[in-house]
Copies of this chain bind each other. A is one copy, B any other.
Amino acid sequence: MRYSPSRKEDTRQLLLEAGAAEIKRHGFAATGVDRIMQAAGLSGGALYAHFSGKNALLVAIVAAELEKSVRLLTGKPEESAAEALPRCLDRYLSLEHVQQPERGCILPALAAELGRADAEVKAEVSKATREFVAFWGAKLGKREAAELLLSQCVGAIVMARMMDDEARQQSLLDASKAFLLKQLLPVQ
């Protein structure tokens, strides 16, 4: 029998999505519960019917966001690295990603805040990055290459967002993309 989502489940999902967009845009510490709930069209107090508090919401958001990102950035295992890598890099290392954090990956959007988060949050991050590294490690032939890929992608978005002009943002992205393609793909 198929699982039928109740209205409560729908609301919970809405909170995860609205909350993710808000904290990716403004940061976790800087985002009040009220702002998230308003973005979802609800009052502040309604949060506590779904989560025990603000931090529990963060845990759920991080888990949901990373699952989505890993799905987007891995894809079919039978595809070759030469096919998959350019597609994923074009998507991730794009000016749109730099300029619209609320629609992008949660790792560069929260960045240092995830490094200070509690064990529950870090466990979600560790789990997702292990999956990512396992997938790309296999595809690229070396685990180290996948770890480098992950750091480089997150670092490039973080740094590009600090730049105050678009030309330098683009320059950073292009440098990273060209280098990764050249160095990680086996010679044709």
Which chain A residues have a beta carbon within 8 Å of chain B's beta carbons? 26-27, 29-30, 101, 107-117, 119, 122-123, 125-126, 129, 143-145, 147-148, 150-156, 158-159, 161-165, 168, 171-172, 174-176, 178-179, 183
Contacts and interface: CB of A to CB of B under 8 A. Distances in A.
A interface, by DSSP: helix, strand, loop or mixed?
helix
Nearest to A154: B155
Contacts of A129: 159, 162-163
Given A115-B161, A147-B172, A179-B183, 8 more contacts: A27-B116, A30-B116, A125-B162, A126-B162, A129-B162, A151-B155, A151-B159, A153-B155
Contacts of A154: 155, 158-159
Contacts of A123: 164
Nearest to A110: B112
B175 A144 contact: yes
A171 B162 CA distance: 27
Contacts of A125: 162-164
Nearest to A115: B161
12 contacts: A27-B116, A29-B29, A111-B111, A111-B112, A122-B163, A125-B164, A126-B162, A126-B168, A151-B152, A151-B175, A155-B156, A155-B159
